[in-house]
Structure formats: C-alpha cells, structure tokens
Amino acid sequence: MATEPPHEHKSVHDWVMLFENVEESTLLTACDAARAAWSDRARGLGRWLDHVAACPACRQIARTQEGLLADDCLGCPECRDALQVVYDLVDLTEHYEPVTILELHRAEEFMEELAPFSLDEQITRVRAVDYYQQWGVAQRLLLDAQAAWHRDPQKAHDRALLAVAVASKLDPDSYGAAWIADLRAKAHAYLANAHRILGQFIDAEIEFTIAEAHLRQGVRSGQAQARVFSLKASLLKDQHRHHEALALLAQVERFHEEHGERHEAGRIALKRSTVLDLLGEPREAAEEASRAAAMLDPAREPELRLAARNNSISFLLAAGDIEQARALFDELPPMPEPLTELERRWLEANLLRSEGRHGEARTVYELVRTGLSEAGMFYRAALASLDLAVTAHAEGGRRGEVLLMAEQAAVQLTLAGAKPEAFTALRLVLQAAREDAVTLAVIDQVRRRLAALQPS
C-alpha cells in the first residue's frame, strides 16, 4: 500500500539550497512572476528569501537545519512563518520537491515553444523530449485546463490531454511513483470533466475509470480522491444519477471536514444543494445552501458565498416560502462587481414575480437580460428570456409575447453553442406558443430543464 512520504524529507533547508544553486537573475524572475501569479503564498516565500539573504544568522540556520524548523531554532521573528510559507507552496505545486516551484514558473516557456504545433504534434513532442517531462509542466497544463473549463471547454480538453501525456512520462526516481500516480489521476479527471462539459459522457466515464485506477496506486492521502470524486459527482448529476452524486459528495465533504477544510466542505455543500433541487426537494436544498453559506469563507471566494445565499433564496421561492425568501434577500447589499450585481437583481426579479408584482419584475428581467447579453453570457440570457415569457403569461397569457421571448431564447442558445438537448426542450415552448396552447407549467418545465443543462 502506497504511503505518503514523511514531510521532514523536504525542509526549509532544501528550499534555500535549491535557490542558492540558481542564478540570481533566475531567482528574481521567479519571485517576480510568483508575486504576480501566486499572490500571498509566493510573496511570503519571496519575503523570507530576501530576509535570509540579508541575515547571516538566519541563513546559517537555514543551511544547517535538516529537519522541520521549530520555534526554538528560528533566528528572529521574521522567520516565524517560514515553514507555513513552504507548506503553502507545496499546496500550490502539490509536491514536496522544491524544484517543482521553479518548474511551474518555467513551464510558460515550454507552452510558448509548443504553441505553433498541432495538438497531435505537441503530444508527440512532450513524449519524446525529456525537458518537457516535468511535474511543473503537467501542473501548469492542468491549471490552464481548469481555467478554461467553462470559458473554452475544447481548450480545457486539449490542455488536459497534453497533461496526461506529460504525466505518463514523469520519472519515478525524480518525483516518486505514488505521487505521479496521484498526478495522473488528476490529469485524467480533468480530461473527464472537459468531456462532460462538451457533452461526451461516455468518454468522461472512461477517463474517470482510468483516474480511479491511478488513485489506487497513489499516495492515498485522500486529497486526490476528493478532487476526482467531486468532479465525478458533476458527471453523475448531468446523467441524472442524482442519488449517486449526493452519496459521492457526502464522502468528499466528510474528508474536508475531517481535515479542518471548512471552506472546501462548504463548496461541496453548495454542490449538494443544486443536486437536491434537481431531485425536487427545494426546502432541503435551501437548508443545504444555507449551511454552505455558513461554511464558505467570504475572504477567499466572496462570489461563492453569494451564490450560496442566492441559491437558498431561489430554493425557498420554489418551496413557496416567499416571506422567508424576502427576509433573506433584504439582507443582501448591492454588489460592487457588475455581473454579481446582475445575479442579485435577477434574484430580485424572481422574488417580485412570486409576490405578484409582475410589472416590476418585467423591468428588472429586461435589465438583467440586456446585461447578460452584453457580457457575452448568452446561455444565461436565454434563461432570462424564459423568465420574461413566464412573466408575460402570468400577466394575461399573451401568446405573441411568449412566442417572441422563446424565439429570442433560441437565438441566445445558438450564440452560446448550447447542446442539442437544450433546443429540443425549448421546442416544446415554441410549438405550444405557435398553436396557442402554451401553459405556465410548460414554460416552467422547459426553463428548469434548460437550467439543468447549462454548463457547470
């Protein structure tokens, strides 16, 4: 059974010796890039290295200390957080070899070298040329894939596929066989998630099967498994295997709670709330969303905490608890970020409609739809068009306006590159409106179906 290598094998001493053996210009470049890209974690290492370079006493300690730094061996207060800084960087690279942080920095150069080639040629090159076969290169590719999942899922697929190729060639003597197995599991899971977003569910299932096989050969610390299972739960949700998704998410949340990762547990609770809603349990979904909001750290991801509050209000409205939904909404202040404020106003429109204030709701829906379209968020704009269709029907069943809103939703779905299933669902409203047989239940059913199909 694979076990996690002892942390003390990589001490602050190892990091200092690594940077001493790098040209000063390279070190400065690495630190500058880190300050720009990696925020406080890398800035902390940069500050500590600057301090060690200027303080002979601390430099001597760092050179000679072979194990973990302890309070009684630190030379001065500036070094008190040195060990945590290193562990934060370990979280970034997901490895205890100090060289991986420099590999991650230098990966940008390799990406530029590979850019002119086709994907097949890139895969051939990384498999054939040794200097592409680095942990940091694979990590950089996976970071790119994650960033592109919803903005450009095809790019996410290509980056993850290239990361799979790099991970397949990593040297066990350099990085450790168990660590490489975890990285390969992550790469295949990221590729699976890209397939899921592209609607390629069979390919996604195959990649998750490969990812889980690698997990069995990995470090088995639980972190890699939590990541893979969280992504797999999204596939299960999209396949309407909601109970399986909930069970898997519960397992992931337990792992985060056992390790004191309250914010990560909150992220999983938020995902669980959306699955509960899809199961037709809006009140339970609202409770789960409220629980998620309480766990999420607003300093880390304020938009997620707002999403949890928004979900809670939406689910309360679905459960018919308009009074409690209004009370929660009135606690939400205007948001400084334009898109976030649009989401808040959208929630306000839903609430106004539930309160029977249809004219006011229509005005806010139109504002929201315009803002989403201008931001290029066409799928979301299509949902707002259907909300306008519901409002038009509630105001007196105006068939012509319902048909117009549905036709505009079709255009927006086309601009969004929506899945065929979305157009199939929307066709129900279009046909019913043309035949003067549209009902509120039909529009609402289609709206919920499109919401479930949007990329997540």
| pLDDT digit string, tens, across residues 304-313 | 888 899 899 9
Mean pLDDT of 86-101: 65
What predicted TM-score, i.e. pTM, was given to this entire model? 0.75
What's the rounded Cα separation, in Å, for the pair 358 and 135? Answer: 56
Please report, rounded to a whole number, the percentage of residues in the chain having pLDDT higher than 90.
48
- pLDDT tens sequence across 124-133: 999 998 888 9
pLDDT at position 91, please? Answer: 66
Q: What is the mean pLDDT of the chain?
A: 81
Q: Residue 209: CB partners within 8 Å, gap ≥ 6?
A: none
Which tops the pLDDT comparison, 407 or 35?
A: 407
pLDDT at 120 over 90: yes
**What pLDDT does residue 236 have?**
96
Q: Mean of the pLDDT values across residues 230-258?
A: 94
Q: In this predicted structure, which of 58-72, 99-113, 125-139, 423-437 has the lowest mean pLDDT?
A: 58-72
Q: Which residue has better confidence, 102 or 46? A: 102
pLDDT of residue 78: 54
Q: What is the pLDDT of residue 71?
A: 39
Q: What is the DSSP string of 195-245?
A: HHHTT-HHHHHHHHHHHHHHHTTS--SSHHHHHHHHHHHHHHHHTT-HHHH
User: For residue 76, which amino acid is it?
Assistant: C
- SS3 state of residue 435: coil
In angstroms, rounded to a whole number, what is the distance separating the alpha carbons of residues 273 and 396?
A: 34
- Beta-carbon contacts of 129 under 8 Å, excluding residues fewer than 6 positions away, are none
Q: What value does the mean pLDDT take over residues 190-198?
A: 94
The average pLDDT across 133-151 equals: 89
Please check the confidence at residue 382 and state whether its pLDDT lies above 50. Answer: yes
Predicted confidence (pLDDT) at residue 207 exceeds the cutoff of 80? yes
335: left (phi over 0), alpha (psi -120 to 50) or beta: beta
Judge contact between 104 and 140, C-beta under 8 A: yes
pLDDT above 70: residue 253 = yes
- Residue range 399-412: mean pLDDT, rounded: 89
Assign 3-state DSSP to the chain and report helix, strand, coil percentages, each to 5. Answer: 80, 0, 20
Q: What is the mean pLDDT of residues 433-456?
A: 85
At 136 the pLDDT is 86
